[in-house]
Amino acid sequence: MDLLRLNWDATIAYCEELAAKARGYGPDFIVGISRGGLVPARVLSDLLGVNAMGILGISFYKAMGKPSDFPVISQDLTMDIKGKRVLIVDDIADTGRSLAVAKDYVLRKGAKEVKVATIHYKPDSIFKPDYFIGSTTAWVVYPWERNEVERELEKKKK
């Protein structure tokens, strides 16, 4: 498995580019997908000046590179988003299945309009975000998950 390891400076620079792309959308509300999308969602919240933010938990991966059969909502979005322009943020569109579930869920919660932003996009994803910065086939290791990935790699060696 190819790994693409990012440091904080590169990741923040990618988030700045992502914010520049999403700025024209003008979201009223940002939804961060837990866990990978929490840091980029908070950074975009700051860069776009959008204080209204919530978390949607979606469980999908059993282990690094091993998805479950279907994404499951593990934490409901508790904020009222009816009539709002929502920007869903995650770190990567890998299979795209979690993002499809998230967008459908947010629309069912009454959002007026929904766009999706990710730092990276994998070409085989079934869901293409409205905004993304890079495209890769590698497993991306973001700075907030560095230790988790190292533990997974160590397990695989044993």
pLDDT at 50: 98
Catalytic residue set: 94
| Bond preceding residue 35 cis, omega within 30 of 0 | yes
pLDDT at 120: 98
Classified as helix, coil or strand, 106 is helix
Three-point CA angle 141, 24, 84, nearest 5°: 90
Closest among 64, 61, 18, 67 to 41, alpha carbons compared: 18
CATH number at residue 38: 3.40.50.2020
Domain range for residue 114?
Answer: 3-157
pTM greater than 0.85: yes
What are the φ and ψ backbone dihedral angles of 109, each rounded to 5 degrees? -80, -5
pLDDT tens for 28-38 read 999 999 999 99
**Count of domains observed in the chain:** 1
pLDDT at 99: 97
Is the dihedral angle over the CA atoms 125, 131, 53, 46 positive or is it negative?
positive
pLDDT tens for 40-66 read 999 999 999 999 999 999 987 666 566
Using an 8 Å Cβ cutoff, are 89 and 33 in contact? Answer: yes
